[in-house]
Structure 1
């Protein structure tokens, strides 16, 4: 994985897959809220000068010890999830237009192979390129990656946020002229990012303790999780640092899963407890 790369090159790496660990908070970007991160995502694309580089921030990954091509997203999951949702909408719209009007010519005057886009960002060789947190992943695969219109229960707040994000982004893309859609594709594909890759949970924990997501700040609960993991490593005499951290991950995985099923924020849950 290159330290300085683009979204297109990141997803294009041979066999690469991304997954959100169960102990991470679920998708939290909103369409209608004080922050309106999804609206800001679209506005940033609309206002961007296509002649200049678009910077999409830093990503922290932990390499799966059992599968070389799989990476766990430690920091940047909100942005990466939104990018996958964006390409799901964009690819579906391009496929619809191809059915209606025939082949599509990209901005470089070459015919656009939409199936290659789907392979790069959605699914290749029967393997999805992206997994969200386990308790939302069936919904994510059905409604986002497979774009099924048949209703499926979205029984967590985070899955409803995913649904709202897709509806908002698709509604923005559908009425656009083809040239603008292709311009948006180019901006996101060529957007500059930096990456940092770690190979063990101890290192990931130390780095995450000092990281903050660009789009939405860490909750107090997130900070407590990071603090506990960091202190376990710093102060424990155990020879099994990763085992201790896995215990905390397991506990917080259940906390996040349950908090997404009630109409309370993470910090409200923390306050009640």
Structure 2
């Protein structure tokens, strides 16, 4: 593992940065965007650098030259959307210095440097390539982020846009952690309590399942299983709202998917109500997932 303090220019060294298809959707809201923007604005006004957080990436070996984003996708997404808005505000001859921060090399259609997860890929591409198709009334998710920052950049005089863009692009705002090929990214992911929205047990279990599926089979097979079993059950348009609804369980609220996975774990003998607390649910699943092979993994998803 290697950690470096860096500016956003670290993305230039990566041909492509992929957010795994199974990572959760973009969940930051106005309270996060407001803090994020205010911190950058204050940093610019005081000509001081501000720490935005860490990003953990793992370069993949093989023919495809890309790096996997293990943690930090919410910050990366937010920053790149803000940067794209600023980029569009610049004069055409001022954009060249920033193009490589947003787009891959040698692409005629401005292919994004960051390849987003399954949930937000379509909307993210629209922001990078086709802003005319953005829902300007949307206040949530990817489009909500775009609309919020589009309003906030009015805080700046037009003449300051280039200097602000340069400041946030060049300042060492990030700590980038590079994982070696032999390091287990799932262990790193599990140990992180990300700033913003806390991961649910469902998020952690899903990551463990499909990280294991990729390692046991291939990304193509894991994607197939995800679409066939997990997405069809928990994340389809008809089901997502139901499973994400919070239900009071004692002194805390839990989403329905966590409650279901808790009951399933009891039935499967993974969870003993006499010995285990609900806080152990995801770790018990992870321990089980580590021990099973490809066939057992598919059977678990099939149930």
When normalised by structure 1's length, the TM-score is 0.72
- Aligned twin of 2:216: 243
- Aligned twin of 2:166: 186
Contact 2:24–2:119 (CA under 8 A) maintained in structure 1: no
Contact 1:45–1:187 (CA under 8 A) maintained in structure 2: no
- Which consecutive unaligned segments of at least 5 residues does structure 1 have? 104-112, 233-239
Other structure's SS at 1:78 match: helix
Q: 1:51 to 1:174 in 2, by over 3 A?
A: closer
Contact 2:5–2:174 (CA under 8 A) maintained in structure 1: yes
The partner residue of 1:37 within 8, 18, 32 is 32
- Aligned twin of 1:90: 86
Contact 2:49–2:173 (CA under 8 A) maintained in structure 1: yes
Cα distance between partner residues in 1 of 2:129 and 2:150: 14
Q: Does 1:140 align with 2:135?
A: no
Larger Rg over CA atoms? 2
Q: What are the Cα deviations for residues 24-78 of structure 1, in whole angstroms up to 9, with x where unaligned?
A: 10111112xxxx1111111112223533221122111122233564111110000
- Aligned twin of 1:237: none
Q: 1:261 to 1:26 in 2, by over 3 A?
A: farther
Q: What are the Cα deviations for residues 131-182 of structure 1, in whole angstroms up to 9, with x where unaligned?
A: 111243122212x111430358xxxx9x951001001101111452134423
1:210-221 matches, cutoff 5 A: 210-221=191-202
Shift of 1:11: 2.0
Higher-helix-fraction structure: 2
Root mean square deviation of aligned Cα = 3.6
- Aligned twin of 2:255: 268
Contact 1:23–1:256 (CA under 8 A) maintained in structure 2: no
Of structures 1 and 2, the one scoring higher in RCO (CA 8 A, sep 6+) is 1
Residue correspondences, number: 240
Q: 1:29 to 1:201 in 2, by over 3 A?
A: farther
- Aligned twin of 1:195: 176
When normalised by structure 2's length, the TM-score is 0.66
Task: Identify which range, 44-53 or 241-250, moves more after superposition.
Answer: 241-250
The partner residue of 2:46 within 47, 50, 53 is 50
The partner residue of 2:61 within 65, 71, 76 is 65
Contact 1:62–1:201 (CA under 8 A) maintained in structure 2: no
Cα distance between partner residues in 2 of 1:128 and 1:229: 24
Q: What are the Cα deviations for residues 94-144 of structure 1, in whole angstroms up to 9, with x where unaligned?
A: 14xx6xxxx6xxxxxxxxx312312322343214201111243122212x1
Shift of 1:199: 4.7
Q: What are the Cα deviations for residues 191-236 of structure 1, in whole angstroms up to 9, with x where unaligned?
A: 3322222355861011111012123222232233467689x8xxxx
Cα distance between partner residues in 1 of 2:89 and 2:167: 17
- Aligned twin of 1:110: none
Other structure's SS at 2:178 match: strand
Other structure's SS at 1:133 match: coil
Q: Does 1:177 align with 2:157?
A: yes
Other structure's SS at 2:197 match: coil
Other structure's SS at 1:10 match: helix
Other structure's SS at 1:55 match: coil
Cα distance between partner residues in 1 of 2:66 and 2:38: 32
Shift of 1:272: 5.5
